[in-house]
Structure formats: structure tokens, C-alpha cells
Amino acid sequence: MKKEILNELNPYEEFVIIKKGTERPFTGKYNDFYEQGLYVCKRCGLPLYESDSKFKSECGWPSFDEEIPGAVKRQLDADGKRIEITCAYCGAHLGHLFEGEGYTPKNVRHCVNSVSMEFVPEGEKVQRNRAFFAAGCFWGSEYMFKKYKGVLDTRVGYMGGKVKNPSYDRVCTGLTGHYETVEVIYDSTVVSYEELVRFFFEIHDFSQFDGQGPDIGEQYKSVIFYTNEEQRRVAGSVKEFLIQKGRIVATQIKRASDFWLAEEYHQNYYEKTGKAPYCHFRRKVF
């Protein structure tokens, strides 16, 4: 997490977002608010919830039955009983998660403090967004994306599997279903998602089905993880363009899921070691 990305908070916002306080029920500006758009994190500006997932619960706080994939982290609250929800990127306290209440078919309620969010009306561009790409060893793919225009930050981790909080050793067995993935935080006023997808295809061998270069295994396969329908459409369109050009495309397009951060020594690996990628370099494709 880059501190320079974070927005300044007033004392009340700090009380809720940093010190994990709670705003008084029925006082938040989004409690009884149902316009179409996106709710983003007050602290880092990244999307958290789509308006279609918001519902009326009469609990006194905004309620959602689904987060944007990869946007929200769950952890045991300090009280040892409830499940706290935080922004998966910056750790901002959002509220708590409750299950089994029967409000919607998804049977989940994200109870969120209004002060932890900002609303972006439908049709307006979200300034900061995220994308998830698996392109072989995440050391190399992170190295490449970090240098691209408009990219604000990157983190490496694991996505796509069913094992919670997997370790590198477990992922390397190829049995957890995870892929080595890089999270790209970008300024959408500088670079578009389509540009990032095209860059992704240019920095690895997307025709290889069993891994990437000498790195063979399920965890090294080529995957684009989308967080919304627009990303799915763009990724599919670029992939189809390459196929129409006669290229073999092994890349899978999957819905994003929980993103588990890799161990600290994997983050910015090539910057730490002074080495350079051995199977990632940019080649002209488009």
C-alpha cells in the first residue's frame, strides 16, 4: 500500500476508518440512498460495491449483499465474535458482515459505515481502479506492470483457488487451484483498462497452455480476472481480436475472487534483489 495514494481524512473519518469506530445508526448519508453508481473507499478511492448490491435492511447503516470481487477483506473483529470487513487494499474499516439473516437470496449483509465510502454516480469515471492478471511468475509480471504509465501501485498474490490464505509452498504444489497473480492499481484518467489488457498480452507468451517459459504448472498459467462486466467484455474483445489474427491464445478469462497477498519477500522482488525478469519482456503484438 502506497501512502501517497491515500486521501486525507478529517478527525471523524479517522475515528471510523482508522480507529474502527462506528457512526450512529440512521445518520449516514448513504443509509437511505439508492441511486445507481459505485461506492468507493473513502481512504484510497478504489471501488467497493455496486449499487445493484445495495438493499434496504432498516438496520441503520447501508447494507450490501455482495462486494466487488477482490475489494473487501474479512477478518475476525477485536471482540472475537463478529466478522470485520475492511478495504482489501488500504485496510480502511468499513463495518461488519452478517450471514443467515434472510434479507436477500445471497443471505449476506455487509453493514457499512457511510463515512467509509464515497459515491460515484453512474456514467462518471472512477479515477482509481484495479485489475488482476496472471502471466506466469508474478515477480516478472509485477516488474513489467509497475513501470507502465498510469499504474499507481502493484501487489502480488494468489487468486482463483478455494483454499483460504494459501502459502507459496501450497500454491506451488498446483493443487490449490490458485494462480500467481498481480494486482494493478491504476489511474483510469491516465490509462484505460483495455490498454492494460493489451500490455498484459505483450509481456508474456499467451500461447503457452502449461505455464510460462520454464515455469510449468497450474499456478503459472495465463489468466485475466475481471471484477465487473465491462472488464469481462474488454478482455474478451481483445482475446477475440488476437484469435481473429490467427494467434493461439491460451489465456483464460475468469471472474475475480479473493485475492490473497503473497508473502512479503515476493513483493517487488526484482527491486529488492536487483535482478531482472528471465521470461517477461515486452514484444509487439498489436
Please confirm, yes or no, whether 111 is among the known catalytic residues. yes
Q: Which amino acid is present at 102?
A: G
In whole angstroms, how far apart are CA 27 and each of 61, 98, 133, 241, 269? 8, 20, 39, 50, 45
In whole angstroms, how far apart are CA 247 and each of 202, 206, 214, 216? 13, 9, 21, 21
What element of type H or E holds 225? strand 222-226
The catalytic position among 44, 87, 90, 111 is 111
Sign of CA dihedral 60, 95, 54, 1: positive
The catalytic position among 41, 44, 90, 137 is 137
* Listed residue (90, 78, 119, 107) closest to 7, CA to CA: 90
234's CB contacts (< 8 A; 6+ apart) are 193, 194, 197
Please confirm, yes or no, whether 172 is among the known catalytic residues. no
Catalytic positions, written as ranges: 111, 137
